[in-house]
Structure 1
Amino acid sequence: MNDTQNEKLAQITPETLIIDVDIAKNKYVARAIDDRGFEFGKRVAFSNDRDGFEKFLRWVEDHQANHQKTHMVVGMEPTGHYWFSLADYLDSCGHQLVLVNPMHVKRLKEIDDHSPSKNDTKDAMVIAKQVKDGRYSPPTFLPQAIAGMTHRGSMESAHAATHRIRPCPKAT
């Protein structure tokens, strides 16, 4: 294990709430675990817009309060351009966001239950376990920069323009 891996593992402490989000076009699914992989409560599904993101943060804050967690890490699998809006929102709120490799999610999912079947709940738990184990990377670019680099008429630009939700209500 290298120093970078150790640094990532050191960030996950007993005070850390690990939130995993499975990304889709219109709906996201999130689950919460602790540093040992114990799952807290039920998953939450939320929409890819400001109302959905606010619902998500209320759910996170409830878990932090109920389980005495002072630090939070949100992990997600970057799927197409659909993760940009949530990443932008979390960044504006000052929350730590990390990304997991989609190929690792696919392979670990098959290892966990000997089935390649896909569902949002299963994917979210695989993402959380990767974050817990330090198998993630920080975003290397800002979502708003990506939106600006795409062609003006592209689907990604249209999606980014219609889903612009910055800033976080708490940051203003």
Structure 2
Amino acid sequence: MNYTQNEKIKQVDEKTLVVGVDIAKKTHYARTFDNRGIEYGKVIKFKSNRDGFEDFKKQIKEIAKKEGKEKIIIGIEPTGHYWCILQVKNKPNYN
């Protein structure tokens, strides 16, 4: 994906939940925001394993539903190689 800065910005609108993830070796942390930077809820803490990822996915879907968001964009800080576990090989399915 070779987006210009403006194309990236246009992806985020009032129906978008923005999730920022801080990657670590064993435990990751995430925060959720709207398109204006207003934060929703508390920090989300999840383990670096399948169960942790599934819990993270469940939590952000619940927040999106509660806040009336139709899209989710996740931003990951690619620290070292620890972010690799969160790679999406195919188009994501948030259903």
TM value normalised by structure 1 = 0.51
- Does residue 24 (structure 1) correspond to residue 20 (structure 2)? The answer is no
In structure 2, C-alpha distance between the alignment counterparts of 1:27 and 1:51, rounded to whole Å: 12
In structure 2, C-alpha distance between the alignment counterparts of 1:86 and 1:93, rounded to whole Å: 13
1:86 aligned residue: 86
In structure 2, C-alpha distance between the alignment counterparts of 1:24 and 1:36, rounded to whole Å: 26
Which of 1 and 2 has higher RCO (CA within 8 Å, sep 6+)? 2
Identity %: 41
Secondary structure of the 1:58 match is: helix
Aligned residues: 92
In structure 2, C-alpha distance between the alignment counterparts of 1:27 and 1:93, rounded to whole Å: 25
In structure 1, C-alpha distance between the alignment counterparts of 2:91 and 2:44, rounded to whole Å: 19
Q: How does 1:83-122 map to 2 (within 5 A)?
A: 83-88=83-88, 91-92=89-90, 94=92
In structure 2, C-alpha distance between the alignment counterparts of 1:12 and 1:66, rounded to whole Å: 18
Higher helix share: 1
Amino acid of the structure 1 residue aligned with 2:62: D
Deviations 1:68-102 (A, max 9, x none): 100111001101110001124xx45616xxxxxxx
TM value normalised by structure 2 = 0.90
RMSD: 1.7
Q: How does 1:8-157 map to 2 (within 5 A)?
A: 8-88=8-88, 91-92=89-90, 94=92
Which ranges of structure 1 fall in alignment gaps of 5 or more residues? 96-169
Cα deviation for residue 6 of structure 1 reads 1.1
Which ranges of structure 2 fall in alignment gaps of 5 or more residues? none
Higher strand share: 2
In structure 2, C-alpha distance between the alignment counterparts of 1:27 and 1:6, rounded to whole Å: 33
Runs of 4+ more than 6 Å apart:
none
In structure 2, C-alpha distance between the alignment counterparts of 1:64 and 1:26, rounded to whole Å: 25
In structure 2, C-alpha distance between the alignment counterparts of 1:60 and 1:34, rounded to whole Å: 12
In structure 1, C-alpha distance between the alignment counterparts of 2:61 and 2:8, rounded to whole Å: 23
Secondary structure of the 1:12 match is: coil
